[in-house]
Chain A
């Protein structure tokens, strides 16, 4: 009785987990992600060949013998002769300059003292009185800061290696940059960025900071993002003497004019809540060339900034789709050919907001504006229609995408199969799948087509052909877990029904071994006569 209840409960929970659907990357976004990867790889070293790795290993082994005695994890050179101010958290022993600090050992700067740590890789931390921290990665790439105040100058790391500072409220991800962190235990974490760019993650959200930004993060999430140092106040000149204070903040009229709307230019002080969609974008300007964060970032990457496009992309990256749609309002009204990229982004955000009908309208407009991208627009419109439940429109639009040809035509077939199935026109779906298999033997959706065809044949009780179709589907090893499970069961079931009793029973037995609580487990047991 108890086992039965366990099984039922688990089946419910698993069913709920399976219902969480992944949002697949479309071809355009996949390409963008590839470019992002390529940019990150360009900054990293090429992988060594096997021979190179062997040579490097031998070299390192030799070097390790020589320097083993000097293999310190952290050096403590001290500042102004106050090295003895750095003590272990337990207060059991003091550290001398040059002492090693092991990973995981908490350290505290003595009250009234100050200390400078140099981590492997060159990152330096200047910590003030009472600061408590722990090195959490042996290569010096991560620390945990539990309290106090520290200015951290992160040495650029090769490749994607990021420096990571974790506080009770937030996680800070950094390439080469200078920033300060103040942790007030039990209350909040204040991060100020002096140079470079950092990403701060808090409460499941992230924000990218530019020089001059100050973010306060609490246990409940990001509390505020304000500009600091409008008059040089609040800048840690003592702790970071090598950093030039940012110039005073001033409104950015050029930006506001460029976008045709008022952008939020926040002054010093409190109250600029980052995650309130009613607020304007948290844009700050430093010095004579005001730029929004995304522009500054794109400039840093060496690309020409595309003001509105970059900002829309930034909003989408932060999942702020309402804002992204608002930013594309002008493009929607103008509908100039140059706005096609923006309109694609508008449609994507509308989709993410569940406003599918509006998304379809945008794609329709794009199809009329840009012949070259018509196929992509029809395909995405078909997909949006299908998601909105308008399967008839989805089929019609998918047909137009297929007729337009190009790389999206292949995917449009998949939308067509799904829409026909959604209308329970299984026979038509199977016919479409057969047509696809004949015309696209190496297509991207061959596995799916076999499955759809199998379903159509099964419902017509053509068991042998259906079993072969499901078999072809399974051979390809494609499809989501739920579909694979269906395929496994129906393959066995159709074999059984076609008269191949031994093969069918074996397939269903295997199904039950792998899916003891599967959706078809009961049917499989009944079919096996249990």
Chain B
């Protein structure tokens, strides 16, 4: 982060990207140090907890290295990396769905569910998160990614459209359908459904 700030301040980033584009692996290593934490956070949000997260980060940067000659600087380097990360996420999520294994429980086994206090404590418990992740796993990758980027990561529809290479209207419809699917599946879920009803009851009172 510190290096990032310094490089941006001195217009060093462009030089770093240029050097990496010319095949300078050390420069690319510097870019990795600057951007890997961001890419990792993005992947984590999009695909959920996974012990393959570091491998996926590596995959993003390997693909970036191969495609670097095509980077023309029309978008920010970070945005360009995020685009690659989104496509790597698609591939990973499709593989998960193809395997159709009970992965959510495994993937969340080492998730440190934060302890919460207050009226929503039960809703934020570890079991709920496991079930919620399983519901997300059942939503198709394109819809899921658009929804998570919008609702969890706080991206705007226009920003997501740039990342996923789709029109804004398409992104909005993906988000809309993902929301509907998430609500429907969560209400039908034997663990999430009662909790949602319980929250509503509590709020009525």
- Decide: A206 and B52 in contact? CB cutoff 8 A: yes
Residues of chain B from 17 to 57 with CB closer than 8 A to chain A in the complex: 21-23, 25, 28-29, 32-33, 36-37, 40-41, 44-45, 48-52, 54, 57
Residues of chain A from 189 to 217 with CB closer than 8 A to chain B in the complex: 201-206
Report Cα–Cα, A12/B201, bound state, in Å.
14
Report Cα–Cα, A35/B21, bound state, in Å.
19
Report Cα–Cα, A34/B40, bound state, in Å.
13
- Decide: B29 and A37 in contact? CB cutoff 8 A: yes
Number of A-B pairs, beta carbon distance below 8 Å: 178
Contact among A23, A30, A407 for B36, CB-based, below 8 A: A30
Return chain B residues, CB-CB under 8 Å to A5.
200
A48 lies within 8 A of chain B by Cβ: yes
- Decide: B69 and A48 in contact? CB cutoff 8 A: yes
Give the Cβ gap from A443 to chain B, nearest Cβ, in Å.
6
Give the Cβ gap from B126 to chain A, nearest Cβ, in Å.
10
A66 lies within 8 A of chain B by Cβ: no
- Decide: B65 and A444 in contact? CB cutoff 8 A: no
Contact among A10, A24, A319 for B51, CB-based, below 8 A: A319
- Decide: B124 and A47 in contact? CB cutoff 8 A: no
Report Cα–Cα, A445/B37, bound state, in Å.
14
A278 lies within 8 A of chain B by Cβ: no
A50 lies within 8 A of chain B by Cβ: yes
B107 lies within 8 A of chain A by Cβ: yes
Give the Cβ gap from A445 to chain B, nearest Cβ, in Å.
7
Q: Is the interface of B mostly helix, strand, loop or mixed?
A: helix
Report Cα–Cα, A201/B44, bound state, in Å.
19
Return chain B residues, CB-CB under 8 Å to A12.
120, 123, 195-196, 199
- Decide: A410 and B2 in contact? CB cutoff 8 A: yes
- Decide: B186 and A444 in contact? CB cutoff 8 A: no
Given A21-B112, A47-B65, the answer on whether A10 and B1 have CB atoms closer than 8 Å is: no
A 1-34 to B, binary, CB cutoff 8 A, 1 in contact else 0: 0000110111011111111111111000011011
Given A16-B128, A442-B9, the answer on whether A10 and B179 have CB atoms closer than 8 Å is: yes
Return chain B residues, CB-CB under 8 Å to A206.
51-52
Given A10-B183, A46-B23, the answer on whether A515 and B154 have CB atoms closer than 8 Å is: yes
B151 lies within 8 A of chain A by Cβ: yes
- Decide: B179 and A407 in contact? CB cutoff 8 A: no
- Decide: A37 and B62 in contact? CB cutoff 8 A: yes
A468 lies within 8 A of chain B by Cβ: no
A403 lies within 8 A of chain B by Cβ: no
Which residue in chain A gives the minimum CB-CB distance to B150? Answer: A514
Interface residues on A, range: 35 or more
Return chain A residues, CB-CB under 8 Å to B116.
19
A280 lies within 8 A of chain B by Cβ: no
Report Cα–Cα, A193/B28, bound state, in Å.
35
Which residue in chain B gives the minimum CB-CB distance to A160? Answer: B62
- Decide: B200 and A8 in contact? CB cutoff 8 A: yes
Return chain A residues, CB-CB under 8 Å to B2.
407, 410, 442-444
Return chain B residues, CB-CB under 8 Å to A52.
69
- Decide: A41 and B200 in contact? CB cutoff 8 A: no
- Decide: A49 and B33 in contact? CB cutoff 8 A: no
B110 lies within 8 A of chain A by Cβ: yes
- Decide: B4 and A444 in contact? CB cutoff 8 A: yes
- Decide: A221 and B106 in contact? CB cutoff 8 A: yes
A 401-412 to B, binary, CB cutoff 8 A, 1 in contact else 0: 000000100100
A 505-528 to B, binary, CB cutoff 8 A, 1 in contact else 0: 000000000110100000000000
Contact among B21, B49, B112, B136 for A49, CB-based, below 8 A: B21
Give the Cβ gap from B70 to chain A, nearest Cβ, in Å.
7
Residues of chain B from 152 to 200 with CB closer than 8 A to chain A in the complex: 152-154, 156, 179, 182-183, 186-187, 192, 195-196, 199-200
- Decide: B62 and A443 in contact? CB cutoff 8 A: no
Given A444-B1, A444-B4, the answer on whether A47 and B153 have CB atoms closer than 8 Å is: no
A53 lies within 8 A of chain B by Cβ: yes
Report Cα–Cα, A407/B151, bound state, in Å.
34
A337 lies within 8 A of chain B by Cβ: no
Give the Cβ gap from B34 to chain A, nearest Cβ, in Å.
10
Contact among A8, A42, A49, A352 for B25, CB-based, below 8 A: A42
- Decide: B58 and A40 in contact? CB cutoff 8 A: yes
Return chain B residues, CB-CB under 8 Å to A31.
33
A171 lies within 8 A of chain B by Cβ: yes
B203 lies within 8 A of chain A by Cβ: yes
Report Cα–Cα, A514/B51, bound state, in Å.
32
Report Cα–Cα, A40/B152, bound state, in Å.
32
Return chain A residues, CB-CB under 8 Å to B103.
203-204
Return chain B residues, CB-CB under 8 Å to A444.
1-2, 4-5
- Decide: A13 and B132 in contact? CB cutoff 8 A: yes
Return chain B residues, CB-CB under 8 Å to A446.
5
A485 lies within 8 A of chain B by Cβ: yes
Which residue in chain A gives the minimum CB-CB distance to B152? Answer: A17
A274 lies within 8 A of chain B by Cβ: no
Given A33-B54, A446-B5, A481-B153, the answer on whether A319 and B183 have CB atoms closer than 8 Å is: no
Return chain B residues, CB-CB under 8 Å to A371.
none
A298 lies within 8 A of chain B by Cβ: no
- Decide: A9 and B28 in contact? CB cutoff 8 A: no
Contact among A8, A25, A407 for B199, CB-based, below 8 A: A8
Given A10-B182, A30-B37, the answer on whether A38 and B6 have CB atoms closer than 8 Å is: no
Give the Cβ gap from B39 to chain A, nearest Cβ, in Å.
10
Report Cα–Cα, A202/B107, bound state, in Å.
11
Contact among A38, A352, A514 for B156, CB-based, below 8 A: A514
- Decide: A442 and B6 in contact? CB cutoff 8 A: yes
Cβ-closest 8 pairs across A and B:
A204-B106, A444-B1, A46-B23, A481-B154, A444-B2, A22-B44, A160-B62, A204-B103
Q: Name 8 A/B residue pairs within 8 A (Cβ), A-sorted.
A: A9-B187, A13-B183, A25-B36, A30-B37, A33-B32, A221-B106, A410-B2, A442-B9
A interface residues (Cβ-Cβ under 8 A, vs B):
5-6, 8-10, 12-25, 30-31, 33-34, 36-38, 40-42, 44, 46-50, 52-53, 159-160, 166, 171, 201-206, 219-221, 318-319, 352, 354, 407, 410, 442-446, 480-482, 484-485, 514-515, 517
Task: Known A-B contacts: A33-B58, A204-B106. Give 11 more (CB < 8 A).
Answer: A20-B113, A22-B40, A25-B37, A30-B36, A31-B33, A41-B62, A41-B65, A50-B69, A204-B51, A442-B2, A442-B5
